[in-house]
Amino acid sequence: MKEPFGGLILNVAFRLLVPFTIVYAIYVLCLGEYSPGGGFQAGAVLSVGVLLSRLILGENAKFNVLGKTSVVLAGVGTFIYAFTGWLTLFGGAKFFLDYNYMPIHMEPQHEMHALGIFLIEIGVAICVMMTIINLLDAIVKRGADNGDVE
């Protein structure tokens, strides 16, 4: 995936397809509490957008995530998930992710619950997106090394 792949038709299809996949992923993320979908599905679709850009445009794609950056961002997604749970514990909850005890007080009460769910889904989406990119990077690197394990 270091070399650009394809010609005019793939470039045109890419420029039409990838923005729709990213917008759809954000739609799935934002409405995940009320409809099927959520953080996992949004992260998978976002990773497809990044990997398509890398496949068609090569390593010089505009929104490409490589190497240690993707590992760090996967950790950031996990941290957002855990930090949301810790916020509820610091707010006085007796168990992890009791959204009624978020330190951000909103009226009505279900708004705090929606904010907590949204923070969780953002963390899951980032973690899933970067994990899929890491896995496929490892597969491509191992294929380039003729299957040798370092």
Domains of the chain, by residue range, sit at 8-144
**In the chain, pLDDT over 70 holds for what percent of residues?**
89
pLDDT at 127: 94
Is the link from the previous residue into 108 a cis peptide, with omega within 30 of 0?
yes
Query: Is residue 146 predicted with pLDDT exceeding 70?
Result: no
Q: What pLDDT was estimated at residue 46?
A: 92
Q: Which residue has the tokens 């005019």?
A: 8
* Cβ contact 131:72 at 8 Å: no
- Kindly state the helix (H) or strand (E) to which residue 131 belongs, with its residue range: helix 109-144
Looking at residue 54, its pLDDT comes to 80
Burial readout 62-79 (b: 16 or more C-beta within 10 A, e: otherwise): eebbeeeebeebbeebbe
Q: How far apart are CA 36 and CA 67, in angstroms?
A: 32
pLDDT, tens digit, 9 for 90 and up, residues 31-89: 877 777 788 999 999 999 888 888 777 777 777 777 788 889 999 999 999 888 888 88
CB atoms within 10 A of CB 134: 17
Please state, in angstroms and as integers, the Cα–Cα distance from residue 108 to each residue in 105, 111, 126, following that order. 9, 6, 29
pLDDT at residue 150 greater than cutoff 60: no
**Which pLDDT score, from 0 to 100, does residue 93 have?**
78
pLDDT, the chain, mean: 82
Rounded CA separation 148/150 (Å): 6
